[in-house]
Amino acid sequence: MESFISIAVILVVGLLVASILLQVKGAGGGLFGGGEAQFRTRRGVEKTLFQITIGLGILFVILAIINLWYS
C-alpha cells in the first residue's frame, strides 16, 4: 500500500508541475518574469487548466498526508 501511495504522489507531482508550466502566458511572462500586470477572466481551456491545477494541488496534499500517516 505504501509503495502505491508513493507512486501516486510522484505521478501527481509530475502532472502538477506540467499543468503549472502550461499556464505560463506569453514570451517573458509568468515563470520567467515580465512585469505585465494585466487582469482578466479565465475562459475556455485556460479556465479548465486552472481548475485542474487546483484539483491536482488538493490531491497532492491529501496523498502527502496519507503517505505520512502510513509511514
**Per-residue pLDDT reduced to its tens digit, 22-63:** 987 654 455 555 555 566 777 888 899 999 999 999 999 999
The larger pLDDT score, comparing residue 33 to residue 10, is at 10
Residue 32 lies in a domain: no
pTM, rounded to two decimals: 0.76
The CA distances from residue 59 to 3, 21, 55, 71, in Å, are: 17, 18, 6, 18
How many distinct structural domains can be found in the chain? 1
20: containing domain: 1-24+46-71
How far is CA 28 from its chain centroid? 20
Residue 4 lies in a domain: yes
pLDDT of residue 10: 96
